[in-house]
């Protein structure tokens, strides 16, 4: 069961935890503070795409998975009045977040108590500029969110220049992540994935952030990755295709949850 608790190292901040797994970190007084490195990578994709659009353009973002609403708060602070829909099935967690971490008035953030598959199926085609998938059951990505069928549903929601951004977790030899990423490669015109160098080298379990769509700003993301606090590497194009090898995408018929971490503490949402 997920709980909102005070952050042990910052009296202004809060964590969403599930057992020993840290799922979200939120500073309600400063929504632009992003503590988890993988969340910064997702924010960088947004900065190079929807958040860079002229202010008069109407932007809509769909979040599959809510946690403490770290990214919706970030978007609202960076681009007020952005329309955001959060699909979060844990109603007890939603109640805790509303009580302890209330959203600003007129934030434009709407929370729907529904899981990602059911929630996306109820949304109209072409309604979103970005779909962010950062959803976990405990420490694993639910199996139904890693399949070709779900990616087809996410793609249906996108406007022509939209992107899907997803947080995956795995460890070398990346059997689960390769299959999930093979689905992205088969479903979208372009895909890129970033992770910390120790994760790529198999030294530890960690997060892989995927961005996929008809056009992904690969060079801009590479420049941002190069400035990351921890060493990161981004794969795209032929390099990503070589890494995927002959990986076969998941379907609903053979879906699996992502592996649970072999360590006790991590950044998962």
pLDDT in tens, the chain (269 residues): 789 999 998 889 999 998 878 889 999 999 999 999 999 999 999 999 999 999 899 999 999 999 999 999 999 999 998 999 999 999 999 999 999 999 988 899 999 999 999 999 999 999 999 999 999 988 899 999 999 999 999 999 999 999 999 999 999 999 999 999 999 999 999 999 999 999 999 999 999 999 999 999 999 999 999 999 899 999 999 999 999 999 999 999 999 999 988 653 444 44
How many angstroms separate the CA atoms of 137 and 142, rounded? Answer: 6
* Angle at the Cα of 229 from the Cα atoms of 265 and 46, rounded to 5 degrees: 90
> CA 226, CA 220: separation in Å to the nearest integer?
10
Task: Provide long-range contacts, Cβ within 8 A and 24+ apart, for 191-195.
Answer: 191/216, 191/236, 191/240, 192/216, 192/218, 192/221, 192/234, 192/235, 192/236, 192/240, 193/168, 193/234, 193/235, 193/236, 193/240, 194/41, 194/221, 194/225, 194/232, 194/233, 194/234, 194/235, 195/232, 195/233
């Amino acid at each position: 069961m997920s709980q909102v608790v005070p952050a042990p190292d910052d009296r202004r901040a809060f964590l969403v935890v599930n057992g020993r797994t840290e799922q979200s970190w939120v500073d309600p007084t400063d929504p632009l503070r992003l503590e988890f490195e993988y969340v910064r990578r997702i924010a960088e994709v947004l900065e190079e795409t929807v958040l860079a659009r002229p202010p008069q353009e109407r932007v809509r973002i769909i979040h599959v998975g809510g946690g403490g609403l770290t990214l919706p708060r970030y978007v609202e602070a960076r681009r007020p009045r952005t329309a955001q829909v959060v699909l979060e099935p844990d109603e007890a967690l939603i109640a805790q977040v509303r009580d302890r971490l209330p959203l600003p008035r007129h934030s434009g953030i709407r929370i729907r108590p529904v899981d990602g598959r059911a929630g996306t199926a109820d949304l109209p085609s072409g309604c979103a500029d970005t779909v962010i998938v950062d959803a976990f059951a405990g420490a694993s990505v639910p199996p139904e969110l890693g399949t070709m069928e779900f990616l087809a549903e996410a793609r249906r929601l996108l406007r022509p220049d939209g992107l899907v951004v997803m947080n995956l977790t795995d460890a070398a030899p990346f059997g689960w992540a390769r299959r999930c990423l093979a689905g992205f490669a088969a479903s979208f015109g372009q895909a890129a994935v970033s992770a910390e160098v120790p994760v790529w080298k198999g030294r530890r379990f960690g997060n892989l952030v995927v961005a996929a769509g008809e056009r992904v700003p690969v060079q801009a993301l590479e420049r941002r990755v190069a400035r990351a606090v921890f060493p990161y590497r981004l794969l795209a194009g032929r390099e990503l295709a070589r890494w995927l090898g002959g990986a076969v995408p998941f379907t609903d018929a053979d879906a699996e949850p992502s592996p649970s971490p072999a360590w006790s503490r991590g950044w998962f949402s």
